[in-house]
Structure 1
Amino acid sequence: MLTQEMVNKLNEQLNLEFVSANIYLQMSAWCNNKGFEGASNFFKIQSSEEMYHMHRLFDYLNDTGTMPVLGSIDAPQVDFLSLLDLIKLAYEQEKIITQKINSLAHFSMMLKDYSTFYFLQWYVEKQYKEGKIFKSILDKFSLVNPDFGGLFLIDQDLKTMNGNK
């Protein structure tokens, strides 16, 4: 049985995953509007993955006899300065999620809630991979010249990026 404090933290994470899904879906729309088809597809898939992360938490809470609580979330940012700015913001969002997941895993160990700790290991692994992917995208920006087709190359690379997880 989960403690109420653990339930609260899991519900908080569930809603944070929902926020991320909305942010990435809005980023997909911005990319599509600017002609970045690869980036648009990449962020649409990222949004779906975040929803899956949310659903896993939802199911875990239900499976433990606890009712998940969906809170209200703010609308995401709709405009970005550039594709680079958008990627930087997405990377910052992933770093926040990673910090929250690590904190949640630590908290579950402190409570000796080994079932939750085991459940969270999937998230720990996913966040490591997500951080690595976003960092590699940012690294690619430093390798190309955006004035000479570099954005096109990055956009083309993003078309296949989701398959490398």
Structure 2
Amino acid sequence: MNTKRLSDTMEKALSDQMNKEIAASHTFLSYGIWADDKGYKGIANFLYRHAQEERNHSIKFMEYVLNRGGKPKVNAIPAPPKDPESLTECFDGVFKHEVDNTTSIYKIVDLSFEEKDWATWNFMQWFVQEQIEEETLAMNLIDDLKIAGGDRATDESLFTLDKTLEKAKDDAPLAQEATGANP
């Protein structure tokens, strides 16, 4: 008996998103290594935690596809982008990634609506909300760096920003603990 509750198209879209989240994890890991190498330990730690959160998102997609009787396909992970030249380029890269990810999430929401796959539509609402938070976080990084002086910031301003991000709330466990009542 066929117990698969996803169309082939939806299964592929969800698998592709799972792989996109894995690639994002590697991108943020790469950015974290770059920041760590530059001496920005707090920013690096923040990016490492964000890399883990992206990995957690990929696992959410994997589990969902499996729970709906599908089989997610793991693809090769593309190489992360080259190291940024500055913190501005790094934070802009984080923002661009999140906007691209939001676009991809919306395409799955659209597909679930078209297919009347209400289970997947419901599942994706968590990610819609998450992307609002992710884009806001990325915009705040850009704004905080601008306030600190951007690429012309003083060492003291960058030190303060680095220490602030080191203590920033760790969002990774929240992705695993989310429920319908507590997105």
> TM-score range with shorter-chain normalisation?
over 0.9
Aligned to 1:157: 164
Aligned to 1:111: 115
Shift of 1:142: 1.9
Gaps of 5+ in 1: none
Aligned to 1:73: 77
Contact 1:30–1:78 under 8 Å retained in 2:
no
Shift of 1:148: 5.0
Gaps of 5+ in 2: 175-183
Length-normalised TM-score, structure 2? 0.86
Task: Report whether the alignment pairs 1:24 with 2:24.
Answer: no
Task: Report whether the alignment pairs 1:142 with 2:146.
Answer: yes
Over the residues paired in the alignment, what is the CA RMSD in angstroms? 1.4
Length-normalised TM-score, structure 1? 0.94
| Structure (1 or 2) with the greater helix fraction | 1
Secondary structure of 1:35's counterpart equals coil
Sequence identity of aligned pairs in percent?
A: 26
* Matched length: 165
Equivalent residue for 1:92, pick from 96, 99, 102: 96
Flag as ranges the 4+ runs of structure 1 deviating above 6 A: none
Output the CA distance in 2 between the equivalents of 1:151 and 1:96. 28
Secondary structure of 2:154's counterpart equals helix
Aligned to 2:181: none
Aligned to 1:7: 11
Contact 1:91–1:134 under 8 Å retained in 2:
yes
